[in-house]
């Protein structure tokens, strides 16, 4: 994997999957306790539709975390020096790396879960950097509207992995706990109270009119439909965005790209992107 160096000297590992005659770059921002290797089917679909994909393993995660923590898998997920803010800044820096290498292509920011919170923060910081933003497994980033505690509590009778909240497909939970590069440690414990608080916030006022797609399962314990609706209303009334789309999947849990209806989810994403990011022919 290629690397870039963040402001604290941490080597951030990332992957690049190039599309033939790409129409845009998708910057894929993964969730907490996981890595980009879990997004193979989504990446394949995006590349086939003309989107090159750049995706990093965030601070403390995947190959970045493995190197950063000297191969100590018990520390996976912990961001290290600078904490949460450094992790967010490193994803911000990655956008610059992508732009420097691809000055003529638009960038679409696609964030899942923790990655969707980072994406919301980056949209507030640099709204002109992105031609579109997609948020999956996301929530309105205010107390009472997102849950960072025991996300599996309502599914305790459905399995023994502790990861049943991710998907209705038992194989997803089994693969997650068998993966040495993943962790189920709650976000607040990984990042501390200060790190968790750094994720809180609302969409900025009067943003440039960037198209936003929000995709959630209605059985997602992180936020679900009610929280997503608050986020939509905030983007519309506070940021004054005019192209905000919400898709809610009945009975789906947190990882909609790993759900039993994942083909439908990918098709919906591509249809939305196709309508907003033209092909280069």
| Cβ contacts of 40-45, under 8 Å, gap ≥ 24 | 41/257, 41/262, 41/266, 42/257, 42/266, 42/269, 43/17, 45/266, 45/269, 45/270
Give pLDDT tens digits for 208-250: 999 999 999 999 999 999 999 999 999 999 999 999 999 999 9
Task: Kindly state the percentage of the chain with pLDDT values over 70.
Answer: 100
Question: Confidence band (pLDDT; 50, 70, 90) for 113?
Answer: very high
Q: List the Cα angle 94/99/102 in 5-degree steps.
A: 125
Q: What are the structural domains of the chain?
A: 3-274 (3.40.50.1820)
CA distance linking residue 240 with residue 124, whole number of Å: 13
Give pLDDT tens digits for 60-97: 999 999 999 999 999 999 999 999 999 999 999 999 99
The answer to whether 122 and 137 are in contact (CB under 8 A) is no
Two structure tokens written together for 94: 């990655």
pLDDT at 281: 64
Q: Model-level pTM? A: 0.97
Q: For the chain, how many residues are written?
A: 281
Question: Confidence band (pLDDT; 50, 70, 90) for 207?
Answer: very high
CA distance linking residue 174 with residue 166, whole number of Å: 10
3-state secondary structure of 90: helix
- For residue 132, the surrounding DSSP H or E stretch is strand 132-136
pLDDT at 164: 97
């Amino acid at each position: 994997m290629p690397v870039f160096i963040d402001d604290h000297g941490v080597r951030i590992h990332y992957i690049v999957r190039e599309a033939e005659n790409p129409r845009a770059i998708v910057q894929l921002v993964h969730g907490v306790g996981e890595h980009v290797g879990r997004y193979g089917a989504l990446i394949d679909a995006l590349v086939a539709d003309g989107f090159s994909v750049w995706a990093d393993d965030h601070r403390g995660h995947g190959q970045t975390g493995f190197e950063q923590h000297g191969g100590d898998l018990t520390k996976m997920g912990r961001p290290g020096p600078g904490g949460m803010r450094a992790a967010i800044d490193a994803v911000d820096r990655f956008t610059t790396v992508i732009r420097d290498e691809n000055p003529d292509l638009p960038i679409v920011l696609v964030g899942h879960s923790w990655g969707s919170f980072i994406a919301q923060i980056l949209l507030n910081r640099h709204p002109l950097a992105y031609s579109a933003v997609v948020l999956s497994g996301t929530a309105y980033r205010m107390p009472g509207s997102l849950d960072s505690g025991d996300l599996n509590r309502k599914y305790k009778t459905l399995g023994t992995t502790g990861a049943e909240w991710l998907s209705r497909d038992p194989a997803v939970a089994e693969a997650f706990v068998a993966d040495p590069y993943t962790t189920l440690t709650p976000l607040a414990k990984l990042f501390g109270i200060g790190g968790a608080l750094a994720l809180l916030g609302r969409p900025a006022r009067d943003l440039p009119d960037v198209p936003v797609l929000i995709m959630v399962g209605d059985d997602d314990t992180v936020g679900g439909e009610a929280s997503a609706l608050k986020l939509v209303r905030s983007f519309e009334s506070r940021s004054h965005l005019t192209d905000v789309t919400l898709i809610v999947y009945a009975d789906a849990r947190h990882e909609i790209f790993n759900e039993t209806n994942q083909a439908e989810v990918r098709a919906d994403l591509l249809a939305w992107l196709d309508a907003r990011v033209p092909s280069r022919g």
